[in-house]
Structures are given as C-alpha cells and as structure tokens.
Amino acid sequence: MGQTLIEKIIARNIGREKVTPGEIVTVNVDRVMVHDIFIPFVADKFEEMGFSKIWDPDKMVLIYDHLVPASQLDDARHFATGDAFAAKYGVRNVHRSDGICHQLMTEAGYVKPGDIAFGTDSHTVTYGCVGAFSTGIGYTEMAGILGTGKLWIRVPETIKVQVDGTLPPNVTSKDVILQILGDLRADGATYKSLEFAGSTFDAMTVASRMTMANMTVECGAKCGLFSPDEKTAEYCGIAPADFKNDTFLQNLKGDPDAVYDRVLTYRAEDFVPVAACPSQVDNIHPVSEIAGKAVDQVFLGSCTNGRLEDLAAAAEILKGRKVAPFVKFIVTPASRKIYREALEAGILETLAEAGAMITHPGCGLCCGRAGGILTDNEVVVATNNRNFLGRMGTSKVQIYLASPKTAAWTAVEGKITVPV
Amino acid sequence: MEQFTGKVWLLGDDIDTDIIMPTEYLALKTINDMCPYAFSPLRPELAAQIREGDIIVAGKNFGCGSSREQAPEVIKALGIRCVIAASYARIFFRNAINNGLLLIENADLVKDVQEGEEITVRAGDSIRYKDKTYPISPLPQNLLDILEAGGLVRAMQRLNGKV
Amino acid sequence: MGMTIAEKIIARAAGLPEVHANDIHTVELDFLMSNDGTTHLTIDMYNALKHPRIADVRKLVWIVDHNVPCDSPKTAASQKKMRDFAKENGITFYEGAGVCHQIMIENHVVPGQLIFGADSHTCAYGALGAFGTGVGCTDYLYGMVTGKSWVLVPETLRFNLTGALSNGATARDLILTIIGQIGANGANYHAMEFAGPGMASLTMSDRIAICNLCVEAGAKTALMEVDDITMNYLAAHGGRRPEACFASDPDAKFEKVYDINLSTIVPVVAKPHFVDNIAPVSECTGVRINEAFLGSCNNGRLEDLRLGTSIIKGKKVAPTVRFLVVPASREVYLEAMKEGILDTFMEAGAIVMNPNCSVCWGSCQGVIGKGETLISTGTRNFKGRAGHRDSFVYLGSAATVTASAIKGEISAAFT
C-alpha cells in the first residue's frame, strides 16, 4: 500500500519503511524557529526545565519580526532577552530586522524539502511550500525541543486537494486557498495534513504555493504540503543534477495507491476572486457579492502575501493610478530581500507614487500590534491570513481577507472591487 | 476518582486565540499581567467575572488560530478548572496539556447547558449536568504521562534529574 | 525706526505700516497647520462651540504624521475623527505623506506669511522667510473660526553668520551649539534671526534644520532672509511665489546680536536629558547605544540621508543595534529611492520606514526600552521622549548618528 507525502517525510525521519496515521512517533527535528514575541517565554521554560545547552545551536533560528519596529515600551526587552539567549547558548542564526520569520526560513535556506521543522507560530505550516513538514507549537514544547532535539507527533491522516487546469487571470493562489478553507471550514482538517496535487499547482510559483501552505492552519491542518519540483529546487538552492539524483526527493509525492482521508477535486477554471468576510477565515464569499463596500484601509503584506509577485501584481494595477482619497494603503514587504528586489524593479516607486505607505519588512498590521491599527466601524481589505475579531484593532473593525489583486483594485477605487 | 463541581461560562464555536489573548497584550511581562484582557474582544467583562473553579463550555474548534501558549496559560491562571468543548484546534490542545490545563472533548453538553449553571466532572469518566450524564473519552497514554508529570516542564525536569 | 523680519511680517499680517517689539496686534493668519497629535482635541472644542464655523477652509492644512501607520485603537479613533472632519469640511488633508513641517515647506509655505501650527516645531518655516509659530488647541481653534489671532511682537536675537561649516560639522551641530550657548530658555518669546555672509553656504535643508530647532531655545519663531537659494527651492517645489520678501532694516532694533564664525563649529551631541546639554562628540565617544535614528523634520531630508549613506556605504549596522532610517516625506523617500540611498541603507541592515515622525515622537515606532540608549537626529532628548522613562537620548547630526550605528557606540563620523 502506498504512502502520502507526510507519511514519507515522517518515515524517513525516524528511519522506518512506513508509518500509519494515528501512530504516535518521536521525530528528530531538523530546524526550529522562535520569534521575538515568544523568546522570553522559551528562554524561561528552557532554563526552568534544567537544560544547560541547546542540542544543536545551529538548528535554531531566532527572528525578530512581530515587534519590529518596537511599538510598546516593553518590546525592547524581547530583543535584549533574545540577544542574551543567543549569546549564552551560541545561537548564530539571528535575524533582527530582515523580515517575517516564515519568509526567511525558506528564503534564507534554513528549511529544505523533506525536512521536519517546528516554530513557535501557527503559520509555521508555510514551509510545506517546499515539501517540508513544518508546524506550529507552543513555547514550552519549543523549550523541550531545544534541549532534546526531538518531539512526539501523531502521524496525521491526509486530505488530498486535487486541482487541474488554468486559473482565470484575476484569480491568484490566495483565492484558491480561501475557497478551499471555505469548503473545509475552520476545523475541517484539524490534526490532518493537506496534500496539494495537480497541474494547477505544478504551474504555480513557489511564492504562490507559499501563500497556500501558509493558510492551511486556518482549517486546523497540521501542515499543507506541495511536492518539490525543479522550481522548488531552484528556490532552495539545490543544483538541478542533485535534485534529479535524489531518489527521496524525486519520490516525495503521494503514491497513487496512498490512503487519503478525503479527496477534494476542483477545476481551476471554476475559481473566482473571493474574500473571507468578518470575522472568520472560512466565511468565504465571491468578491462580486460584496463589491461596492466602502473601505478605510487596504493592507498588502504578511507571510501570506507580501512577496515580490504580490507587490508586482499591485504595482501593475496602481501604475499611473492613485490610491483613492482618504484611503490608507499600507504595503509591508515580507523580507529585506523582497524589499530590495522590489526597489530594484521599480515596484516600490510605483506604489509610493500612487500614495502607498511602504513600511519596513515585518509582520506589520497582520499581528495587530501596530502597522495600521483601526477603530470602530472601519473597514479594511487585507492580504494576510486572519480576520478574527479584534485582530487589527477594536472588535468592531471589519476585516476582509483577499488577494493582492483584489486589494490593489480596492485601494484604487476606495471600495471593494472585483479585479479585472 | 477525582470529582469537582463548577459554574459554567458558555462560549460559542471557533473561539480563537486572538479572542482568548489579543496580540496587543501578548508581550506583557507575565501571564498575570495579561489575565484582565482575556476574551476581551468578545466579552471584555468576562475575565473579571471568572472565579476559581469555574468551567468553560464551548462549541467546536476551541483555541483555533495562533500558537500562543499564553491562551491556555491565561485560562488556567484565571482559575478555570477545565474546558469542555465540542472540539479543539491542535496547537491549543498540545499547549493546554503541556501546561496541565485539563481539556475535555464533548459535543453535546454545549447544546444543553446554560451559562451560570453548575456541572460536575468526574475526571476520565463523565460529566454530570442536571439528570444527564455525558461520557468522556480517555486521552492517549503519552499525553496522560505529561499530565501525570504535571506538565511538560516537570517532565523535562525529571529527564534532566532536576526533580 | 527700522523693523526686523519678524516685525515686518506681523505688520503685513496686521495691515499696519509699522509694528514694534512688545506691541500686541490682531493678525490675519495665512495658514493653520494641525497634525494628529492634537487635532482630535481641537475638533472636540470646535463641536462644543455654539456657532461653529470655519473662517476660510483654504487656510487649514491637516496632516496625519505622528502615529503612521497607526499603532493603537485609541490613536485610530483620533485619526478617524480628524479624517472624517477633513473630508466633511473640505480641508486639505495628508496622511502618511510625511512629517507635517516638511510637507508644509514642500507644498504650502511661502516667504512673508504668518502661520500657526499646532506643533512647536512650526518655527521651521523661517527657512523660507515665513513666520511660523507653534500654538495650542485653543489658539488654533480661534484662528480656525476667525482666520485671525493676536500676537505679541517678539524681540529679535540676531545671529550673524560668517565663514562656512567645516571639520565635519553640519547645520545641526551649529544649531545645537547655539542652543548650548544661549540655553534652553535663551530665546524665550524671541525671534531668532539668522543672516550674514555665512548664509550663502547653507542649503535649504540646512536652514530648515536650524530654524526647526530654535524652539528648543524657547524661541517663538526663527527667521531667515529670502535669497536665491530660497527662490530656487520655491521654483523647484511647484513654482510658488513669495507673498513678500523681507530683510531686517539696518536700523532695526535687535535685543542681542551674536557673531558666529561657522568654521569654528565642531560636531556636537546634546546629552540626556536636555537639548542644551551640549558636548563635543569627542567627549561622548564610546557610549554604548541600542538604537540610532536618522529622520524627523529636523534631519530627515535627502541631504541628511545622502550624508548617512556616504558613511555607511559598504559597511554594516552593528549587529544588535537597531538603525531606523525614516525619510521626512514621500518626496524625500522617492528621491532617496531613485538615488539608491534606500537600497544602501537596506543593504547595510538598517530599518527603513515610511515617512512619519517615528521615534522622535516616541509613542510608537522604534520606542526604546528601560535602560536603553538612543542616538537620534530627532528634535528632543527629554527624559522618556523616545520611550521608557528610564532611557537615554543623545541628539547628534546625521553623520554622527550613522557612524554610531555602525560602531554600536557614540562615534565621530570624521576624525
């Protein structure tokens, strides 16, 4: 009997032929990520547990992104605690203002196809875009991994999502994942792995896959995985020949006779631009249904949609146009590298000339601590991953999640607009 | 067998981690500093009303959203004896166990019980509400081990010979 | 009797042939600038009036710059109040376009005007030969409703500048040195007027930096004569024409005259917690810093950013130092982008933000924590100004700040 993608990754990690969903196994961790909000808690728990060294300091990556730039008086304590922890335990992979953790983990080469990685953030599932098993954990478990290099997991069942065909030009991978979340509902994949397959995904850039993997946690999934291909190899800096000769990576896909919990099948041509309406990520409606609603702010950014192709899509729309009067358009590139590439390509110039506020790379508004906080009865269209009550200000803020194209058109028109 | 009775606070489906502990307060120094803001986007008055030994009863997908462990820690620090929900999001579930917060999965109780009423929990066995009994399914052994140790920190201390 | 620039501007605004220091006159205001620091309070007061009206909406310019992007629900509510009011009443409105004073200078202010701003650094407009002064909400409201206000004509302190800056000193070092000399209340209620052959060596950016900081000596306003540099700046910024170009008469009465040879100025810093607590940079080298800030209405212009990149090009920000670079306006941001300046800072590891007041305002972006030290090109180093009440702010030039960011400690840019 065949295996799913996640089963293959876990089996290889623990040196077994195969594993079965429901089994509880202990995996060897390839990489961990801790970000600035949680580092003080991880540091406390680590020492409270009685560890005196990190199992492998080079396998830890410490990233400051939620609190950059600091917006509250106590934020700097998180940097100081992180710096002290890194110095004490020999952690060399520290990024203090380079962008959002989930962007950096694959962009800077910390996570490769087939790896198992954990992070103190629910969107750690993002690294599934390169065929890695990664998921979010709490700070206590993180402290445990730092000491032992291991973590128990339950081998998840797999839900396969099969999409074939060509997406309409005004539809992005964001619309695809939002539609899937709407169909699966917010708890439809709890404890399970999503596996994406089909010609539509084959045609997608790694960046577009990242958007999808990133949001799989919003239906409760443990992870969301794509099979690595040549594009993945190039993105991860794996030489074409090495990739071709790596039998594990070549076979890192669901077997035809693998057992799936469920299979969802879509035709790419059927997708339309959609939005997650307040205040649940699975409250999905076609943008055409909500078009015309006046907005106060548009946010383009986050680990979901702050990449070069997202900024480029917005720039193409804003070229020669202006952001609507009295509407704030906030653009937060996902990383320093993306910011610089967007500078080089003239994308930031186009956006700034149109009236966008371009902030330094980081979590920005998505984590709700600064970067464009709103107040009662304000409406925001945002490209990030959550629209929970109070996520971006008061509980009376209405948050609509949508694609960069929908966001950019909405910024131009000042009201929710179906992209053309 | 351990048995306790507590007053019910009733919450709905998909109670996310941003409701349990909004990001704005996430970087406060201690869990106790955060407690007053628990559940504030949904019910700003709730945190002050919760008393030691109370029980939260909720619908499906409790704790969905972020990995913030402040969510179960704050619930525990407020004095909540246990949470009974139709289902849990996975990270929250792990975090709660790791912090020794008792979670019980039951989909029926939330449909029957009213806020302010009392229920009785017989750990590992059943919940009693008025004249009805609701069964509790047992946890996997590895989780019971962590709970038995008193949470993951204690389990690791044991590993390191600190206790 | 002759008049000073300040007297001439007030005379014009009062419709009188002549006014003199210590007179009180009713004046017609040319602009009323207000930002998100206090506008919501003004609106509350306005709405409480029996017969609220705006005398001339064309005079009002409202700018959201202090907390941008917004950092809290409370601030969002204040900003929304301001935005809604501006929209409803047709008030010229900017949001996220830069620091208010920089926007005013780039787009609105012309020589000869009398301008009230609900912000103390409004005195910056003297760089264009306009009388700008900071006022509170009540004065602002009166001006908004009547188009007029009353002013006490200030006495003038005259600074005759000769020579040219050298020794790696900048205009900021000059004004900090002057404030150190005359003290934080040395110009209380006075106008500070800068003139002399040394002016020709000072760019518009230099002049703005000088005038902007005069309030830190207590000055009511700062003033400079209009010359080719002023006219070229206006031509390049929308071809605006002066209302009137004034210079002080030879027989004008100055309260005091200072002669300053620019070549004697050396790089200095203002040490915590007062702007007049001035010391040469060389006395403070080695002080460990956690953060450096290059920006603000004082030193966030293209020339300042250029100076910064000339120092940091090919180097890196010290690993644990947060180096915030914040252009003063969208115009500066775009020009810096085109010149490759933003990329140089990004390559070096700086945090490059959207134009706004940033940590100079100290309520959101880049606030410093307990016990931390910031070196800043901002306007003030009062206790707690940049964040925690137990923190330390040093003020220095763009060059000193950048050199310090690289070294991780206060450091002279040129030795």
Where residue A33 sits, what CATH number does that domain have? Answer: 3.30.499.10
| Residue C414 within a domain | no
Q: Which residue of C has its CA nearest to A367?
A: C71
| Residue A47 within a domain | yes
**Domain end residue (candidates: C237, C262, C287):** C262
| Residue A191 within a domain | yes
Phi, psi dihedrals of residue A291, rounded to the nearest 5°: -60, 145
Question: Are A26 and A95 members of one domain?
Answer: yes
Contacts of A73 in chain C (CB under 8 A): 367, 369-370, 387-388
> For residue C398, is pLDDT > 70?
yes
| Residue C412 within a domain | no
**Which residue from B87, B94, B162 is facing A50, i.e. has the nearest CB?**
B162
Contact B65 A386 (CB under 8 A): yes
Q: Where are the alpha helices (DSSP H) in A216-359?
A: 230-235, 240-245, 247-250, 287-290, 302-305, 308-318, 336-344, 347-353
Question: Are C200 and C318 members of one domain?
Answer: no
| Residue A338 within a domain | yes
Question: Are C218 and C287 members of one domain?
Answer: no
Q: How far is CA B58 from CA B16, B134, B153, C184, in A?
A: 11, 15, 28, 61
Contacts of C352 in chain A (CB under 8 A): 339, 360
Question: Are A381 and A261 members of one domain?
Answer: no
Question: Are C293 and C229 members of one domain?
Answer: no
Question: Mean of the pLDDT values across residues C122-132?
Answer: 98
pLDDT bin (cut points 50, 70, 90) of residue A125 is very high
Question: Are C159 and C200 members of one domain?
Answer: yes
What pLDDT, on the 0 to 100 scale, is given for residue C1?
Answer: 86
Q: Would you state the structure tokens that stand for residue C170, as one six-digit string?
A: 């900048």
Question: Are C169 and C289 members of one domain?
Answer: no
Question: Are C166 and C105 members of one domain?
Answer: yes
Question: Are A231 and A312 members of one domain?
Answer: no
% residues pLDDT > 90 (chain B): 80
Per-residue pLDDT tens over the stretch A286-308 = 999 999 999 999 999 999 999 99
**Domain end residue (candidates: A108, A130, A154):** A154
Beta bridge partners of C270: C278, C395
| Residue A37 within a domain | yes
What does pLDDT average to over chain A?
Answer: 97
Q: C-alpha angle C20/C23/C28, rounded to 5°?
A: 95
Per-residue pLDDT tens over the stretch A85-99 = 999 999 999 999 999
The count of structural domains within chain C is: 2
Residues A18, A302: Cα–Cα separation, whole Å? 36
What pLDDT, on the 0 to 100 scale, is given for residue C171?
Answer: 98
Is A24 at the interface with chain B, CB within 8 A? yes
What pLDDT, on the 0 to 100 scale, is given for residue B1?
Answer: 59
Residues A241, C301: Cα–Cα separation, whole Å? 51
- Which domain, by its residues, includes C245? 5-262
Question: Mean of the pLDDT values across residues C361-378?
Answer: 94
| Residue A403 within a domain | yes
Q: Would you state the structure tokens that stand for residue C331, as one six-digit string?
A: 């115009």
| Domains of chain B listed by start with CATH number | 3-137 (3.20.19.10)
| Residue A5 within a domain | no
Q: How far is CA A265 from CA A197, A268, C200, in A?
A: 10, 10, 74
Residues A69, C360: Cα–Cα separation, whole Å? 13
Question: Are C370 and C323 members of one domain?
Answer: yes
Could you tell me which of A58, A184, A201 has the C-alpha nearest to residue A129? A201
**Domain end residue (candidates: A271, A297, A332):** A271
Question: Are A26 and A83 members of one domain?
Answer: yes
Beta bridge partners of B137: none
Q: How far is CA B158 from CA A150, B96, C204, in A?
A: 16, 20, 69
Question: Are C295 and C248 members of one domain?
Answer: no
Question: Are A259 and A300 members of one domain?
Answer: no
**Domain end residue (candidates: A209, A236, A271):** A271
Question: Are A207 and A118 members of one domain?
Answer: no
Q: Would you state the structure tokens that stand for residue C134, as one six-digit string?
A: 């900071």
Question: Are A119 and A188 members of one domain?
Answer: no
Question: Are A233 and A285 members of one domain?
Answer: no
> For residue C292, is pLDDT > 90?
yes
How much is the pTM? 0.96
Q: Which residues of A332-352 are buried (b: 16+ CB within 10 A; e: fewer)?
A: bbbbbbbbbbbbeeebbbbbb
Question: Are C359 and C382 members of one domain?
Answer: yes
SS3 C360: helix
| Residue A112 within a domain | yes
Question: Are C297 and C392 members of one domain?
Answer: yes
Question: Mean of the pLDDT values across residues B8-22?
Answer: 95
Question: Are C306 and C258 members of one domain?
Answer: no
What pLDDT, on the 0 to 100 scale, is given for residue C185?
Answer: 94
**Which residue from A71, A353, A365 is facing C367, i.e. has the nearest CB?**
A71
| Residue A3 within a domain | no
Question: Are C309 and C236 members of one domain?
Answer: no
| Residue C415 within a domain | no
| Residue C257 within a domain | yes
Where residue C390 sits, what CATH number does that domain have? Answer: 3.30.499.10
**Which residue from A74, A141, A389 is facing B19, i.e. has the nearest CB?**
A389
- Which domain, by its residues, includes A173? 156-271
Question: Mean of the pLDDT values across residues B83-110?
Answer: 94
Question: Are A53 and A138 members of one domain?
Answer: yes
Q: Select the residue from A104, A344, A357, A397 to test the C interface by mutation, using most C Cβ atoms within 10 A.
A: A357
The count of structural domains within chain A is: 3
**Domain end residue (candidates: C214, C233, C262):** C262
**Domain end residue (candidates: C262, C280, C307):** C262
Residues A313, A335: Cα–Cα separation, whole Å? 17
